[in-house]
Chains A and B, each alone.
Chain A
Amino acid sequence: MQIQQLSVFIENKPGRLAEITEVLAEAGIDIRAISVADTSDFGILRVIVDKPKEAVAALKQHGMTVSLTNVIAVGIDDEPGAFSKAVRLLADEGFDMEYMYAFISRDKGKAFVIIRMNNGQKAAEVLKERGFDILSPETLYNM
């Protein structure tokens, strides 16, 4: 059930993000979700795309450092308190989140959270048991 997220190393310099996403555009890759973690001199671009393998190949061809990371995607009702219920559950069950980011879908009423944790598969099962919507890779890639 885990989603393959691309992680790309980027130096903090003007235009770099544009250049990297242009590579994806040229390869006809559609971005589903995107997030950047940054420090003073480098950043990590995290991106979920419709065709992860092709995206990796395209980026590597342009000499970029890229890896695939397993994350989970949780669908959450777009209403107050829904997100906190999910993270409370994960906290109470003892899961350690490394990072997360969120996006809203075209369909009204749903928000999605991408979560990276070391025990993602297990966390996905726990969330699913409690009625949270866990997106399959196919669903997310073709969203």
Chain B
Amino acid sequence: MPNYFEPEIECASRETLREIQSQKLAAMAKRCYENVPFYRKKFDEIGLKPEDIKSIDDLSKLPFTVKQDLRDTYPFGMVAVPRSELARVHASSGTTGKQTVVAYTRHDLDVWAHSAARSIVGTGGTKDDFVHVSYGYGLFTGGLGLHDGAEALGATVIPVSSGNTNRQVQILQDYESDILCCTPSYAMYIGETVRDKGIDPKSLKVRIGIFGAEPWTEEMRREIENALAIRAFDIYGLSEIAGPGVACECEEQAGMHVQEDFFYPEIIDPVTGEQLPDGEEGELVFTCIGKEALPLIRYRTRDIASLTHETCKCGRTLVRMTKPKGRTDDMLIIRGINVFPSQIESVLLDLGMAPNYRMIVDRQNNLDTLEVQVEMNESMFADTVRSLERVEKTIANALQSTLNIAAKITLLEPKSIERSEGKAKRVIDKRNIV
């Protein structure tokens, strides 16, 4: 018998959900118009009045929001509440190397925590479980998202954060963690460490894995499930909307239930912007109908997915989304961190170097690796090995501080990277992600 955290929502009739969504959307349109100059301008430009938005069917009248809008209004230009009402900020790295900042009120953090709590319960978690959070804590939403979700559920949190894999395994053994939360690639690595230490995974109490923040395949799911003797579930989120818990798989492992009373999803044709019906793939768009601080309207995620409104075998009526298949642009997810080639470009330009580079992404020991090859030029060249190694280190440090990711830098001779007509081939991704 499946458990629910908030069955009155999770198993509500579609009509009830529609009513809730319609009310929230109408209120949101009004709030956005009154409190966010950016939206007021957009509404006025198309002659839209907030009172034109009466039900969720009116959603398509509203304009889209894109990541660039957040950058243009960086850091807090889209925030709809006074600064003093903010309870927390998180940030994600942006394509220009400039982070986009997202803000939450106390209410928003509760919405997010409830979303994460529903997600944990959906995977079979209970308030009696020890939830081992190996996502990074900090501006990245992963760690605190699952942390707050587990607390809202009343479970016990082990805030391990990421890194130090031996200690992760030790804690799994000694503290008897029931639920492990991290990126799927890190779960693979933990699984391998368990095996290398000669530990029988069945001897570990952990039974559930909640993994997200990067794309992963069914094959990877099976490998993780075998390596740790658990069931592994996909969780979805993005900081602009909330963080992990926006959607999550239930025990059926048949798509991720979207917390659609907070985050209303649509699938659109990325070219025309037209809404697409259930089952059709397109760009995933969210409207934050349940949020105060950053009530984004029709935010384009650039993730490609499809939706189904069929009631799930678990009893939930909440719409399900497929695992995002890919991005509509060239973003890479490396160790759970969003990386755009253009970020590398801007780092090099900031260092006064020509942006002739290539990224080689691979997976070694189940962890993503990034090599950045940079073409040498006269101004970077010096006659000693030491000074060239300093150039490599300078680039590596700049990437680390901007992207929060460790990269191996390799200097190449000028013109050794193939030039292409049109869009440059900047990325060689050797990982087996479809």
Contact = CB atoms under 8 A, between A and B. Distances in A.
B414 A63 contact: yes
Contacts of A116: 383
Q: Which range contains the number of B residues in contact with the other chain?
A: 10 to 19
A9 B381 contact: yes
Contact of A7 (B377, B383, B411): B383
A11 B385 contact: no
Contacts of A93: none
Given A39-B389, A42-B388, A63 B383 contact: no
Interface of B: 376-378, 381-385, 388-389, 410-416
Contacts of A41: 410-411
A67 B388 contact: no
Main secondary structure of the interface of B (DSSP, over half): loop
B413 A44 contact: no
Q: Is the interface of A mostly helix, strand, loop or mixed?
A: strand
A67 B378 contact: yes
Given A9-B381, A37-B385, A116-B383, A42 B414 contact: no
B300 to A, nearest CB: 40
Contacts of A9: 376, 381, 388, 411, 413
A69 B381 contact: no
Contacts of A98: 383-384
20 contacts: A9-B376, A9-B413, A10-B413, A11-B413, A11-B416, A37-B384, A37-B385, A42-B388, A42-B411, A44-B385, A44-B388, A63-B415, A65-B376, A65-B377, A65-B378, A67-B378, A67-B381, A67-B383, A98-B383, A98-B384
A64 interface: yes
Nearest to A16: B413
Contacts of A46: 383
Contacts of A11: 411-413, 416
Contacts of A64: 413-414
B376 A44 contact: no
A115 to B, nearest CB: 13
A99 B382 CA distance: 13
Contacts of B411: 9, 11, 41-42
A139 to B, nearest CB: 23
A39 B385 contact: yes
